[in-house]
């Protein structure tokens, strides 16, 4: 239904326009009694194999919505009804800002990709606090993606991030420091060195004085070299951050099926969707290996099929997030991912049970062989004894000994 009818209609309109329409429709859901509950019943999958606890937060399932859809924290509840295990709002900046000039959001249908250069457009942290006051920590999981204002210099970026962290601390379940978006001038320079260290230091110092612990993760670019990833991991461990979000959008345009002239006309921006699948998976594997599985990873970027989602989890991710995959596959996508995860987990359990059963059978066979060998030896010994006795006694005595030997053999075999 979505791919045959709804998506073709949506794709007739500009991406940003249809986004505004969808946000308006989600807002309307609040005013129709029972609608949110009905949609949740249709699209949500509940199963013990989906549940997990990551960085101290309990998730009903590991499939989240990446930041960028609910920039102003207005529809996180309604989005959650589509089967998401968590929703990340933002990116939020201290002051509201318009972002980059339009057009700034583009589709590449041949590549199942999006290009955006939105530029952290949002209404600011005061609006976010107002919207998030209604959030119930015990039911839905909501994360906040934090970014600096465009006009804030990198030297003063730590002030922006700390302000956001302080204002939002009581209203969300975890935080993501976004220093990897390619659509804000010089932002990616914050990914390493003293800038990053000063941002993390202020945030962690503030958290120490709070009664409630809030996890903090850092979101990295897929365009980083592995030496830069190593530096980020070192900073994460040094400052006791709780994990990494891998990855943001890429500036690369390699291997696209879309006409190169059209791609050039679109210009700058972060690319997401299918072209990012391979690189994101590589990054997740690399980070998981370097951290030896000791730090949670939220995998995002290029998750376009349920198999992609399972691959990310198998590569070491604790949770996953979708965005472009949601746009291209529709509201059933999360449900299909959850079913694929359950099937994969059940297969692993079945395989593990089969291995244990195989080991048990092998052990029993060895024990049986050993027992059989002992019994054979005893039979042989008994026969020798009978033979010797027969030579030394009369026929009547031989019959008695033979009867005793048979009784003994029967007892041993049982």
Would you say residue 290 lies in a domain?
A: yes
More confident residue, 369 or 201: 201
pLDDT tier, 370 (very low <50, low <70, confident <90, very high otherwise)? low
Separation of alpha carbons 75 and 71, rounded Å: 9
Is there a single domain that holds both residue 291 and residue 380? no
11 and 139, same domain (yes or no):
yes
Task: Please check whether residue 341 lies inside any domain of the structure.
Answer: no
Domain match, 172 and 265 both: yes
pLDDT, tens digit, 9 for 90 and up, residues 181-190 = 888 877 877 7
Give the per-residue pLDDT at 14.
95
Instruction: Return the pLDDT at 372.
Output: 52
pLDDT reading at 400 higher than 90: no
Do 316 and 372 belong to one domain? no
Greater pLDDT, 199 or 92: 92
Range of the structural domain that residue 246 is part of: 2-331
Residue 395 has pLDDT above 50, yes or no: no
Query: What pLDDT, in 10s, does the model give residues 132-179?
Result: 998 876 678 999 999 999 999 989 999 999 999 999 999 999 999 998
Please give the radius of gyration of the chain, using alpha carbons only, rounded to the nearest integer.
31
Q: Is residue 377 part of a domain?
A: yes
- Which is more confidently placed, 384 or 38? 38
pLDDT at 384: 37
Q: What residues form DSSP beta bridges with 219?
A: 178, 245
**pLDDT confidence of 410, banded at 50, 70, 90?**
very low
Write down the pLDDT at residue 104: 97
d(CA 94, CA 406): 93
The size of the chain, in residues, is 414
Q: Look at residue 399 and tell me if it is in a domain.
A: yes
Say if residue 397 is in the same domain as residue 262: no
Assess whether 282 and 181 both reside in one domain.
Answer: yes
Do 232 and 376 share a domain, yes or no?
Answer: no
Count of domains for the chain: 2
CA 108 to chain centre: 25
- The pLDDT of residue 393: 41
Cα-based distances in Å from 414 to 119, 386, 403, 409: 80, 21, 17, 9
pLDDT in tens, 273-299: 999 999 999 999 999 999 998 999 999
Instruction: Please write the tens of the pLDDT for every residue from 180-234.
Output: 888 887 787 777 667 888 899 999 999 999 999 999 999 999 999 999 899 899 9
Q: What's the whole-model pTM score?
A: 0.85
> Residue 364's pLDDT is what?
59
141 within a domain of the structure (yes/no): yes
Which of 331, 362, 396 represents a domain boundary (last residue)? 331
Residue 336 inside a domain? The answer is no
Point out the domain boundary residue: 331, 366, 383: 331
- Pairing assessment for the beta strands 95-97 and 122-124 based on DSSP bridges: antiparallel
Beta strand spans in 285-404 (E): 297-300, 319-322
Q: pLDDT value at position 23? A: 96
Is 385's pLDDT higher than 60? Answer: no
Last residue of one domain, picked from the residues 300, 331, 362: 331
Across 365-392, average pLDDT = 47
Whether residues 239 and 124 fall in one domain? yes
Mean pLDDT of 355-376: 62
- 294 secondary structure, DSSP code: -
- pLDDT-derived band at 363, boundaries 50, 70, 90: low
Quick one: 204 and 163 in the same domain?
yes
More confident residue, 58 or 293: 58
Check residues 393 and 245 and name the one with the higher pLDDT. Answer: 245
What pLDDT is recorded for position 367? 58
Within this chain, do residues 401 and 259 fall inside the same structural domain, yes or no?
Answer: no
Chain mean pLDDT for the chain? 87
CATH number at residue 70: 3.20.20.70
CA distance 403 to 414: 17
Do the Cβ atoms of 50 and 342 come closer than 8 Å? Answer: yes
Share of the chain above pLDDT 90, in %: 75
What's the average model confidence in pLDDT over 55-68?
97
- Classify residue 347: in a domain, yes or no: no
Asked whether residue 154 is domain-assigned, the answer is yes
Does residue 296 sit in the same domain as residue 383? no
Same domain (yes/no): 323, 384: no
């Amino acid at each position: 239904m979505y791919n045959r009818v709804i998506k073709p209609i949506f794709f007739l309109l500009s991406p940003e326009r249809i986004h505004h329409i969808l946000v308006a429709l989600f807002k309307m859901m609040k005013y129709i009694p029972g609608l949110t509950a009905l949609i949740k019943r249709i699209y949500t999958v509940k199963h013990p194999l989906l549940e997990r606890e990551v960085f101290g937060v309990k998730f009903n399932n590991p499939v989240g919505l990446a930041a960028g859809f609910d920039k102003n924290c207005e529809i996180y509840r309604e989005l959650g009804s589509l089967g998401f295990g968590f929703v990340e709002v933002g990116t939020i900046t201290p002051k509201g800002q318009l972002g980059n000039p339009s057009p700034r959001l583009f589709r590449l249908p041949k590549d199942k990709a999006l290009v955006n250069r939105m530029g952290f457009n949002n209404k600011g942290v005061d609006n976010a606090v107002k919207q998030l006051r209604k959030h119930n920590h015990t039911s839905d999981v909501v994360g906040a993606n934090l970014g600096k204002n465009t006009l804030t210099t990198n030297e003063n970026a730590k002030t922006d991030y700390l302000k956001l962290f302080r204002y939002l601390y009581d209203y969300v379940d975890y935080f993501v420091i976004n220093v990897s978006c390619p659509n804000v001038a010089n932002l990616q320079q914050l990914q390493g060195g003293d800038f990053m260290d000063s941002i993390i230091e202020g945030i962690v110092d503030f958290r120490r004085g709070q009664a409630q612990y809030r996890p903090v993760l850092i979101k990295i670019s897929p365009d980083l070299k592995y030496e830069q990833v190593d530096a980020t991991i070192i900073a994460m461990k040094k400052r006791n951050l709780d994990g990494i979000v891998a990855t943001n959008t890429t500036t690369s345009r390699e291997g696209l099926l879309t006409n190169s002239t059209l791609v050039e006309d679109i210009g700058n921006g972060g690319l997401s969707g299918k072209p990012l699948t391979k690189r994101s998976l590589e990054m997740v594997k690399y980070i998981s290996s370097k951290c030896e599985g000791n730090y949670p990873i939220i995998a995002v970027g290029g998750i376009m099929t349920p198999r992609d989602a399972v691959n990310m989890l198998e590569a070491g991710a604790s949770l996953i997030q979708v965005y472009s995959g949601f746009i291209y596959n529709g509201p059933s996508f999360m449900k299909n991912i959850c079913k694929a995860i359950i099937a994969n987990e059940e297969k692993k359990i079945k395989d593990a049970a089969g291995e244990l059963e195989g080991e048990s059978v092998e052990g029993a066979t060895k024990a049986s062989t050993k027992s059989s060998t002992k019994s054979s030896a005893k039979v042989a010994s008994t026969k020798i004894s009978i033979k010797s006795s027969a030579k030394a006694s009369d026929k009547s005595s031989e019959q008695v000994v033979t009867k005793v030997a048979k009784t003994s053999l029967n007892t041993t075999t049982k």
